[in-house]
Structure 1
Amino acid sequence: MKAADVMSSPVITLRPDTPVWAAAALLVSHGFTAAPVVDADRRVIGIATEADLARNRIRPEGWPAPEERIEPTVARVMTGTPMSMRPEDDLADVVSLMLDGRIRSVPIVDDGVLVGIVSRRDVLRVLARRELTSGQVGRHRAGLPDHDRAEP
């Protein structure tokens, strides 16, 4: 099975100049744990995770507020140069990258341009449906019956 078989596309993305509060609102409204940060050419320049957006934003009671006058942007908090893979990469390799790197999602790029994203949830969705081949995933997406689905 390939990354392209299970990736989510189109991808909800962020721009580097997006305010942190707006990025957080976008993740919450879509139920995502991260979103790729792209430039004007849809090239991935970073990824903004829940942790990136929350880090140093909530202060203990009584601590002074930061003296920042400008709302921080995604560019200031994102994780730069995230690991990415290609649509034709084997899904097992994508999952290994996620597990070994302790990351929740992997941007999928084609010639450097973002075309999709594979999240842990995408992988679990395939497992929950017991889809073990690209053909099974394709038939499911097309709304066709799958007679060779793996049995428990």
Structure 2
Amino acid sequence: MLVKDIMTKNVITVKKDASIREIAQTIVDHDISGLPVVDEEGKVCGIVSEGDLVRKEFAPELPDELCILGAVIYYSGLREYQDAFRKIAAISAEQLMTKKVVAVHEDDDVSKVAKIMYDKHVKRVPVLDGEKHLLGIVSRRDIVKMMLS
């Protein structure tokens, strides 16, 4: 089966300048766990999720460090710390969103999407055309519903 056969076509999105409150309200109102962030041209530039919103509520863990002759060397977790700190300070979708969007095409096989979701630990994958315009989205629930047909 192909992605276009199971994807949700009417995708709820937010603009890059959407406030944190607006994002939270959209997620609650539509009973979804995340949504794409689009720019002025309607191109996908990120994804924001409930997890991103929850992440704002607690302090990031300090990265692992090693002190040698008074110098602090971070050897693990620095990138994660910086990302978590950025999300805590975020006031808009653009600042909160995950920028590295894993996406698929409508003619991809559903098994490819399922593997991406499993390997990357993501719950939704946008379906884009060659210009990064949003055609739809596939969630884990869409794959589960496919199993019933």
- Cα distance in 1 for partners of 2:52, 2:133 equals 23
- Cα distance in 1 for partners of 2:139, 2:48 equals 14
Q: Is the 8 A contact 2:90 2:96 kept in 1?
A: no
The match for 1:139 is: none
The match for 2:20 is: 20
Runs (4+) of structure 1 exceeding 3 A deviation are: none
> Which has more helix, going by share of residues?
2
> Which has more strand, going by share of residues?
2
TM-score normalized by the length of structure 1: 0.73
Aligned residues: 119
Candidates 120, 124, 132, aligned match of 1:105: 124
CA gap 1:71/1:90 in 2 versus in 1, 3 angstroms: closer
Superposed CA RMSD = 1.7
In the TM superposition, residue 81 of structure 1 has moved relative to its aligned partner by 2.4
**1:29-40 paired onto structure 2 within 5 Å:** 29-40=29-40
- Cα distance in 1 for partners of 2:100, 2:119 equals 17
Unaligned runs of 5+ in 1: 60-69, 132-152
Unaligned runs of 5+ in 2: 60-88
CA deviations 1:100-122 (Å, max 9, x no partner) are 11100000001221110000011
Identity percentage over the alignment?
A: 33
User: Secondary structure at 1:26's aligned position in 2?
Assistant: helix
TM-score normalized by the length of structure 2: 0.75
In the TM superposition, residue 56 of structure 1 has moved relative to its aligned partner by 2.1
Candidates 111, 126, 131, aligned match of 1:92: 111
- Cα distance in 1 for partners of 2:116, 2:53 equals 23
- Cα distance in 1 for partners of 2:31, 2:146 equals 18
Is 1:80 paired with 2:99? yes
Which AA in structure 1 matches 2:50? E
- Cα distance in 1 for partners of 2:90, 2:50 equals 17
**1:136-151 paired onto structure 2 within 5 Å:** none
